[in-house]
Amino acid sequence: MDEFGQPRCPDDGIVMRDTSDAFVCPHCGYRIEIEAVDMPAEFDGPDIDDWRPRPGV
Ligand SMILES: [Zn+2]
């Protein structure tokens, strides 16, 4: 599991677990509902071609 963007519980500072629809503190059960998140794997803009190695360069 990577920890980028992993929020911490505001109550006890414990790193929260992410479920399919919310972050949940394993200690006290505090929940942060996850709204629509931009997933990097889904982006399909024109920028994706710019960082690819090009055979002609
Ligand atoms: Zn907590």
- pLDDT band of 45, cuts 50, 70, 90: low
Distance 2 CA to ligand 1 centre (A): 20
Q: What residues contact 11, with CB distance under 8 A and at least 6 apart? A: 25, 28, 30
Per the CB < 8 A criterion, the answer to whether 11 and 25 are in contact is yes
Structural domain of 52: 1-57
pTM given for the model: 0.53
pLDDT of residue 43: 56
Distance 24 CA to ligand 1 centre (A): 8
Q: CA-based diameter of the chain, in Å?
A: 56
The tally of domains found in the chain comes to 1
Distance 17 CA to ligand 1 centre (A): 10
Supply 1's token pair: 């599991």
pLDDT of residue 25: 96
pLDDT tens, position by position, 15-43 = 999 998 899 999 999 999 987 656 666 55
- pLDDT band of 5, cuts 50, 70, 90: confident
